[in-house]
A and B are shown apart, each in its own frame.
Chain A
Amino acid sequence: MTAQIFAVIIFVAMFIMIVLDKIERHYVTLGSGILTLTVVFGICKHSWTSIWNTLAVKDFAKAEFWYATSESESKGINWATILFIAGMMIMVEGMAKAGFFRWLCMRIAFLVKCRTIPVFITFMLMSAVLSMFIDSITVIMFLAAVTIELANLLKFNPVPMILAEIFCANLGGSATMCGDPPNIIVGTSLGYSFFDFLSNTGLVAGISLVFSVVFFYFAFKKELVSDGGEKVDISKLPKPSEAITNKKDFIISSLIFALAVVLLITHAVTHLTVATIGLGIAVITILTSGKNTPEIMKKVDYKTLVFFIGLFIVVSGLEETGILELIAEFIEKISAGNTMAMIAIILWVSAVASAFVDNIPFAATMVPVIQSLSASTGVSLPTLAWTLSIGTDIGGSATPIGASANVVGTAVAAKNGHPISWGRYCKKLAPATVMVLAISTVYLFVRYL
């Protein structure tokens, strides 16, 4: 009982401190993780086994951590998630350094002759597709910057385009296992593959993307009409090739990206785990980067990796003390064992929570909850997993603080003289979020019930 109380106190305090943003969030989760290990497992439970299981360092020695022929679940610190995210961060830094993202944005803009509405539509699609493989922060960072550059040259308001790109990045991220951190956590914790996600969350993301493009077209059409009409002299615009800083690095980083995509799509066949893929991609990037390696390694977001480590420990505290089982029992009780109600509750509660708090700790906490719920009610675990992924990924689009891409997109806009208030953001993106959640509810009911 004492261990349970302390586990809850640490978790709640951690969540409040993340929301208040007074101390950097990686210090908060790491401090909370250390407290969980010492107070909950050490002092209250006197259990070295719990500490050892939570640290999960023995995972590295297991063959299935690197090469998995069957689905395996992860407990404690999810090192596969951390290795994969670290590997992708290194790859993305290499691509950014070579000018890949800026080149791609400019290339697509030129393909549609830099006309505002076609740029608007293709950038939405590009945002969604890129976010399926690359973290949405990087996608939005480059896309928003190029959007502002184009807006200045073509004389249109970049805010609607940036808002639509943010939304599509979050939507695209929900389509695959590596698109959004909650999906990586769900996938690696429950042993699902890239293709599992693509054929379940990917399908509804694709349907929703069509509706979203139409929605944003009508919502922003008037605002996007450029001051000088549609005629644009594209010879005055910077050429896509100017974005490439080094041709050799550009080709190598593009090939590494292509390799990462192929490995991810085929990992259920090759049996290579995401940990192996992440590590492999990182090693290849480092080996091919030569003298640029220190610069690339310096830019890796280590704070996020530390944040994940601390978070996994705190969630283990809740799991090992049985708190998450209590939450699962509560959901079972209020849904009265009705699968439809269970899906609706998980989807909408995850979405609302993710609109206001970081969806990563929420997803990490909810994974053991849905495992427990599935075990006790017999409801298919994959169904609950897809529900949780969709809810956390999509819900984050509703407010400017719901997902990392939203913060980065609105910040890039503000820095360039286009501040986006909460009202401006929510006016169009909150209804779009509700629309996609409604589509997802119908999809989940029709496909899985």
Chain B
Amino acid sequence: MGQIIISVGREFGSGGRVIAEALAKRFDLPIYDRHLILEIAEKTGLAPELIEKYNENPKHRLISRNVRGYSNSIEDNIAEMQFKFIEDKAASGESFVVVGRCSESKLRKYDCLVSLFVLGDMSEKIKRVMQVYDLSEEKAEELISKKDKKRKRYHNYHCTAHWGDSRLYDLCINSSRLGIDRTVDILEEYIRARAK
């Protein structure tokens, strides 16, 4: 199999990250999510906690300014580091799975890119978030809404196309319909077909 880059966009609570991990395992590829933060931390000397804090966060417009392509916003600078990281990896010919980070847009020029978006029914997402984060139903719904709003603002600030817009991805799939494992099976089949 030649170079393949699997980009996984996801709604919070849809199991997108778990699906991305499973795909990485099945195709024996490195996955850049938390690992991406650690690699950037090692490269720049930044604390991983600090990158985590600003990771996939939209900047605060009122306290940020851009001058000739430079920005004082830490969120912007962390985002740019991550975009550069995945771009360098893609340009080097490496195959990998990347979660979020506007990768479906930033790596669009690569023919080997397979861009996926995982969504889910609200009821299923709530159940999942309640279980994973040990939250009440109300709190889980709040968290889902908050996280997705943040992801949307982050994505739409850095890209021209809108987060979750089906035209942006090769395949959008609702993980609530078949469950995580069957969703991974379907996606694996699709990726293998694309890789041929």
B18-36 CB contacts (< 8 Å) to partner A: none
Let me know if B67 and A407 touch, CB within 8 A. yes
Let me know if B46 and A407 touch, CB within 8 A. no
Let me know if A401 and B72 touch, CB within 8 A. yes
CA distance A408 to B71 in the complex (A): 7
Specify which chain B residues have a CB less than 8 angstroms from the CB of A415 in the assembled complex.
77, 80-81
Specify which chain B residues have a CB less than 8 angstroms from the CB of A29 in the assembled complex.
none
Let me know if B65 and A401 touch, CB within 8 A. yes
Contact partner, B72, options A22, A304, A406, A416, Cβ 8 Å: A406
Q: Which of B61, B66, B81 has the most CB of A within 10 A?
A: B66
Let me know if B61 and A401 touch, CB within 8 A. no
Specify which chain A residues have a CB less than 8 angstroms from the CB of B68 in the assembled complex.
137, 301, 303-304, 404, 408
Does A410 make an interface contact (CB < 8 A)? Answer: yes
CA distance A416 to B74 in the complex (A): 12
CA distance A87 to B29 in the complex (A): 52
Chain B: minimal CB distance from A286 (Å): 21
Does B62 make an interface contact (CB < 8 A)? Answer: yes
CA distance A403 to B47 in the complex (A): 28
Let me know if B44 and A19 touch, CB within 8 A. no
Does A243 make an interface contact (CB < 8 A)? Answer: no
Contact partner, A412, options B54, B66, B70, B81, Cβ 8 Å: B70
CA distance A301 to B67 in the complex (A): 10
Chain A: minimal CB distance from B83 (Å): 12
Contact partner, A410, options B44, B54, B62, B72, Cβ 8 Å: B72
**Quick one: CB contact mask for B69-107 with A, threshold 8 Å, 1 for yes?**
011101001101100000000000000000000000000
Chain A: minimal CB distance from B103 (Å): 20
Specify which chain B residues have a CB less than 8 angstroms from the CB of A407 in the assembled complex.
65-67, 70-72
Specify which chain B residues have a CB less than 8 angstroms from the CB of A421 in the assembled complex.
74
Chain B: minimal CB distance from A12 (Å): 16
Specify which chain A residues have a CB less than 8 angstroms from the CB of B61 in the assembled complex.
19-22
Let me know if A404 and B67 touch, CB within 8 A. yes
Chain B: minimal CB distance from A97 (Å): 16
Q: Which of A301, A407, A421 has the most CB of B within 10 A?
A: A407
Let me know if A400 and B72 touch, CB within 8 A. yes
CA distance A303 to B70 in the complex (A): 14
Q: Which of B66, B67, B68, B71 has the most CB of A within 10 A?
A: B67
Chain A: minimal CB distance from B41 (Å): 9
Let me know if A414 and B65 touch, CB within 8 A. no
Does B1 make an interface contact (CB < 8 A)? Answer: no
Chain B: minimal CB distance from A378 (Å): 39
Q: Is the interface of A mostly helix, strand, loop or mixed?
A: helix
Contact partner, B77, options A20, A358, A404, A411, Cβ 8 Å: A411
CA distance A404 to B69 in the complex (A): 11
Does B3 make an interface contact (CB < 8 A)? Answer: no
Contact partner, B74, options A303, A404, A414, Cβ 8 Å: A414
Does A419 make an interface contact (CB < 8 A)? Answer: yes
Chain B: minimal CB distance from A89 (Å): 11
Q: Which of A401, A410, A419, A420 has the most CB of B within 10 A?
A: A419
B43-57 CB contacts (< 8 Å) to partner A: 44-46, 50, 54
CA distance A408 to B72 in the complex (A): 7
Number of contact residues on A: which range applies? 20 to 34
Q: How many A-B residue pairs have CB under 8 A?
A: 62
Does B166 make an interface contact (CB < 8 A)? Answer: no
Let me know if A419 and B74 touch, CB within 8 A. yes
Residue of A nearest to B62 (CB): A19
Specify which chain A residues have a CB less than 8 angstroms from the CB of B132 in the assembled complex.
none
Does B63 make an interface contact (CB < 8 A)? Answer: yes
Does B64 make an interface contact (CB < 8 A)? Answer: yes
Residue of B nearest to A401 (CB): B65
Specify which chain A residues have a CB less than 8 angstroms from the CB of B64 in the assembled complex.
21, 401
Let me know if B45 and A422 touch, CB within 8 A. no
Does A417 make an interface contact (CB < 8 A)? Answer: yes
Chain A: minimal CB distance from B63 (Å): 6
Residue of B nearest to A301 (CB): B68
Specify which chain B residues have a CB less than 8 angstroms from the CB of A20 in the assembled complex.
61-62
Let me know if B45 and A411 touch, CB within 8 A. no
Residue of A nearest to B77 (CB): A414
**Quick one: CB contact mask for A12-26 with B, threshold 8 Å, 1 for yes?**
000000011110000
Let me know if A417 and B45 touch, CB within 8 A. yes
Specify which chain B residues have a CB less than 8 angstroms from the CB of A419 in the assembled complex.
46, 50, 54, 74, 77-78
Chain A: minimal CB distance from B105 (Å): 18
Residue of B nearest to A303 (CB): B68
CA distance A419 to B70 in the complex (A): 13
Let me know if B66 and A21 touch, CB within 8 A. yes
Let me know if B70 and A411 touch, CB within 8 A. yes
Specify which chain B residues have a CB less than 8 angstroms from the CB of A406 in the assembled complex.
72
Chain A: minimal CB distance from B141 (Å): 30
CA distance A170 to B62 in the complex (A): 22
Chain A: minimal CB distance from B156 (Å): 11
Specify which chain A residues have a CB less than 8 angstroms from the CB of B71 in the assembled complex.
407, 411
Add 13 more A-B contacts to A21-B66, A400-B65 (CB < 8 A): A20-B62, A21-B61, A21-B64, A21-B65, A22-B61, A401-B72, A406-B72, A408-B67, A411-B70, A411-B77, A414-B77, A419-B46, A419-B77
Name B's A-contacting residues (CB within 8 A): 44-46, 50, 54, 61-68, 70-72, 74, 77-78, 80-81
Shortest 8 CB-CB contacts between residues of A and residues of B: A417-B44, A411-B70, A414-B77, A401-B65, A417-B45, A419-B74, A407-B67, A400-B72
Can you pick out 20 interface pairs between chain A and chain B where the beta carbons lie within 8 Å of each other?
A: A19-B61, A400-B65, A400-B72, A401-B63, A401-B65, A407-B67, A407-B72, A408-B68, A411-B67, A411-B70, A411-B71, A412-B70, A414-B72, A414-B77, A416-B44, A417-B46, A419-B54, A419-B77, A420-B74, A422-B63
